Structure 1
Amino acid sequence: MSVSPLVWGLTIAGIVALLLFDFFFHVRKAHIPTLREASFWSALYVGIALVFGAGVWIFGGSDPGAEYFAGYVTEKALSVDNLFVFLVIMSSFKVPRADQQKALLFGIVFSLVARTLFILVGAALINTFAWVFYLFGLILLLTAGNLLKPESEESHSPDNLMVRLARRVFPATDVYDGDRLFTVKDGRRVMTPMLLVMVAIGGTDILFALDSIPAIFGLTQNVYIVFTATAFSLLGLRQLYFLIDDLLDRLIYLAYGLAVILGFIGVKLILHALHENNVPFINDGEPVPVVEISTGLSLTVIIAVLLVTVVASLASAKGRAQSTVSAARRYAQEYLEVEHDPQRREELFVKVCAKERDLGELPEKYRTRIHDEDKLRALLRRVHEEHDRSC
């Protein structure tokens, strides 16, 4: 599919316009999005992505259209998995709920810029070295293996290299000043934790790009489709965060589903590399007659795996128990941190009490598996003590 410079320019202008609209009409004024607001804008951005994909299918053909949808669905699924890490970062830095939108939008913009650079580099490597497909396939297979390893919130440290460098270069305060990046303390300009949050998100976005870009290049080598599928998967991610943050812990099998998808794409890449082989020590530098996986089959497998993963997660009793524990801990921590917003505190206290009742109704086998149960119980007692004092 050939794309003219005019179409490229209009596409980039449209994506930039959507990001600017998001900032000036939603993020600029700090607030907590309502469920209705998050649902509406999440659905709208998904709708825009689907309409764009339909346009690719109509004007570019069925193969490019299928490649776009396969890439979009894969990148969207990887983005949802990344939201869990964003949640860990927000909790670790104790970002006020109303100010989280700005940090998320920065993460989306930084991720889009970083992935665009990776796309350009990846396309240049593919055009120059056919063996790059072997490398991309190996990266995806290794990533799939790592996703199968059990992990917890503690495995996602927000204190990455970029955060440590930022702390050394700029003096920092532990107190937020709204959503400002810098503030004045004792007559000196210092960095707020908000800037550190953005640096932490930016650092993790680079790692995410190392997985996602080889994955989408395994589905299509058309740079325009790779770029647009990646961009539209990121747009609306901020709204999706507020829409499903209570469900993230329920998706306990998402990592396994992503491992299957990345492993599948990794095999597809290696088969393609064998089909185009020119590496001297493989089949004397001649192409290997292997069966290649079609784009239609790829799209079918990706959608089927995600459907099975999501349904199995939502139907899982273990998932419901894990979600209850995580939500109780998160609501309790936020209650103790929100000191100057009585209305928000009361809303959180109601949620804490509801989750506390749910904890008491968990089957014994799940209650005994609660990580740091004593700390959780102590946290809940502190919430009740604080609430009793404020009444």
Structure 2
Amino acid sequence: MASVHLLPGRQRRLADGHPWVYRTEIADVQGSPEPGAVVDVVDSRGRFVARGLYNPQSMIAVRIVTRDPDEAVDEQLIRRRLEEAWSYRRRVVPEHLGACRVVSGEADGLPGLFVDRYDRVLVVQVVSLGMERLLHAVLPALRDLLDPTSIYLRNDVPVRQLEGLPLDSGWAYHTGPDRVWVQEHGVPFVVDVVAGQKTGHYLDQRDNRPLVRPLAAGARVLDAFCHTGGFALNAALGQAESVVAVDSSAAALATLQENAARAGLGGRIETVEANAFDLLRAHDREGRRYDVIILDPPPFARNRASLPGARRGYKEINLRALRLLTPGGFLVTCSCSFHMTPDLFREVVAEAARDAGRRLRLAAERAQGPDHPIVPGYPESHYLKCLIYEVR
């Protein structure tokens, strides 16, 4: 087997559990492996470290699959890892198996593979060349394991281009419906598996959204960056006095109202098509006040270089929200940018509170749901932050 030889000392991060070998960490490659091939990773003394999928075009040159020198990366391993992933979900989210993440890439030992389940439709996304080459083993195993009515390949994410992969999508197993209804903590959502964000729905926030129900009782609620209404619908179900849901996408707001009607909440949520930054500033100038404000923006920091600008953006929206909140109100603020670490995010919110002259009390600190596992030694797996503060 071809082998990738690391520079001295570069095996330590892998030993701590990180699943990637960066191109800059490689001293030599022996055996002329083809892109997507399985390679052994060895340290500077030639000792086995791990086995993974090789792509010389990507900055992530090797994605680790196994640390067992006797374990082959083959169809049997793929099937076994899929079985383990599904067994884990059946134990940690048994009440949400109709709408959950089945496979979460590296966190499930299947680097670059993501599988979400919406009722009996599976949406598969592949973001690594090596896993693309193994897709012939993935799809039959998913059919045997989950018995879906259809499988949609959602390979339209730009990160595939970094792996030298084309952007394409389509039905891989039986043509299914473009839109699927699912239940989430009793709330109905229609999922557009073909054109919706991510694989059709933000499953990672599933367990955080119901937390706003008790906070919203009798409250005036603003849900900025509301998308299809995950938080807004839960606020309305919590008997909010009023709910204003803001998003720049008219299509997302139309879906929100469709979800609201299905939930028996028609007319309970006011939708506003606007840039959330502009709306927060305008409401500040107008002296508008809310009792609960939810901020769940798209990622501002997609890479390390964009972090300074992202920090300014997060501070701006939190500062404006804090100025709009009544004493004793609640701020629910989120970040899905990995580079905005939990410590840094808390620091940014604290700076915004200081500038707004407000005092905060942390009521809850949450991450993504357990079907999006956080793996020690792999900090990129802890990307979602959801902080709930009482504001004075």
Larger RCO, structure (CA 8 Å, separation 6 or more): 1
How would you bin the TM-score normalised by the shorter chain? Answer: under 0.3
Q: Of Structure 1 and Structure 2, which has the larger fraction of its residues in strand? A: 2
Higher share in helix: 1
